[in-house]
Amino acid sequence: MGDPGRAPRVGRWSRGEPGWLIRDGARRSLIKDRITALEASLNDFDPAVRTAALADLMSLVDCGDIEFPPESDVANMHGHTFFSYNAYGHSPTSLAWLAKRRGLKLMAIVDFDVLDGVDEFLAACEVVGLRGAASMETRIFIPEFATREINSPGEPGVLYHMSVGFTSSQVREPVRPILADLRDRATRRNRSIVERVNGYLDPVVVDYDRDVLPLTPAGTATERHMVTAYVAAAKRSVSDQIGFWSEKLNLGRDEMAATMADLPAFKNLVRSRLMKRGGAGYVKPGPDTFPTVEEMNRLAVAAKALPCATWLDGTTEGELAIEELLGLLIGKGVVALNIIPDRNWNIADPAVRRVKVKNLHDVVRLAEELALPLVIGTEMNRFGQKVVDDFDAEPLVPLRKPFLDGAFFVYGHTVLQRALGRGYQSEWARAHLPSRRARNQFYTQIGRAAPPGLRSMARVGQFDPEMPPAKMLSELRAQG
């Protein structure tokens, strides 16, 4: 996380200001510094500061001091924000700006257990002219796989699960308790971890409310926030930090010193040794630890979003039975599949790489057979993860089209739901496009035809919401 304190407010640059009389080289330097300050302000915990910073940056775009690069055929549809945890401290607004500055064609955010960033991200995408979408991720328990590890390491029956294509941070009254329960479960889980870890690390202890929550913009902490708090507490409380952590993490002093020199690696080690399986703060989950897939899918459908399965790498016992698993989840309402491609090919060991690349290609083919559009991305909740996948990497080249089709599908649903209430889950869609495959094709085409931005959204909002899908697509294409 970045510093939660506010960045200095920077006013807008006007052609009438004296700076325009400074020599070009000096002026370029001033503009560069100004952009850097404004981009830092995009991650301020105060939403008003973020909004103002984006407006100021767009004013620099309008006067030609910032030029966006041409769009590339790349997308990241799975990027976490600081409302759960982003390793680089990015807010929803900052991710929209970053994607536009990097020339991404599409981007979607995702956060654990909360929808806090949805409205902000979609609004920022409209301002900068980016095709955007928003999702939520959580963990669920699948009783049918209770004895098989799926994609949560060492936790049989536990499955990471998503809902994609939200168009609002607010949900309807009947399912609000589900969303509230997600936040409450996470808070109880976190407080339990802190209590256990405090007992183990004493005299290095943290207070959840005082030391952890201030690291977050909206009180939704994760294990990574807790790790940051413990590292800071040790600096305050212990003179021999290497010795302290060497003992507590059961690592030789020299190796501990080398690890501590790489802060991201050190934090990952603290989290792994203290909060994951076998650690002092770990509590083995059971059937009641997480919500059911039925609850999460009911929340998604009520919010007109799309239940989405997730896939790790095809090597666990549960994922070796991927056809069984996806068949079960489709029966419960899943309509898409999430994949994190980079961890399935960007691997040093050639033997492991060969297996995982094959598994990746196999699951993409299976998703096509099952009419499951793909939702792919890089996560960005660990240091070293990319802003966008390397679509030109040899193992990914054959997958570019299904990856992009899935991104346009989610964006197309988002556009029509946001503008007209005619997204994938609408009664209109079910009546006109009863099969999942037909709906997939339609919303993918809508996504490819709909330009990003406020004016485009306003034009779509003027369509007759009762026109049939073919007419709506024709109208959209005609507007260019």
Spatial CA neighbour of 340 closest among 369, 307, 378, 368: 378
Distance (Å) of CA 328 to CA 288, 312, 323: 20, 17, 8
C-alpha angle with apex 236: 233 to 238, nearest 5 degrees? 95
Determine the length of the chain: 480
pLDDT at 22 over 70: no
What is the reported pLDDT for 204? 96
* Residue 7's pLDDT band (cuts 50, 70, 90): very low
In this predicted model, what pLDDT tens digit does every residue of 224-264 receive, in sequence order?
999 999 999 999 999 999 999 999 999 999 999 999 999 99
Q: The pTM is what? A: 0.92
What is the reported pLDDT for 4? 38
CB 151 within 8 A of CB 311: yes
Residue corresponding to tokens 């060991």: 349
In this predicted model, what pLDDT tens digit does every residue of 417-452 receive, in sequence order?
999 999 999 999 999 999 999 999 999 999 999 999
Q: How far is CA 15 from the centre of its chain?
A: 38
Q: Taking the CB of residue 271, how many other CB atoms lie within 10 A of it?
A: 19
**Which sequence spans correspond to the domains of the chain?**
1-67, 111-171+303-479, 181-275
Cα–Cα distance, 55 to 128 (Å, whole number): 10
Q: What percent of the chain is helix, strand and coil (3-state, nearest 5)?
A: 55, 10, 35
Distance (Å) of CA 73 to CA 256, 263, 422: 43, 34, 26
Would you put residue 384 in left (φ > 0), alpha (ψ -120 to 50) or beta? Answer: left
From 21-25, 247-251, 352-356, the region with the lowest mean pLDDT: 21-25
Q: Taking the CB of residue 176, how many other CB atoms lie within 10 A of it?
A: 13
Distance (Å) of CA 134 to CA 126, 244, 361, 370, 389: 13, 42, 26, 23, 18
What is the reported pLDDT for 23? 56
- Tokens representing 150 are 């799926």
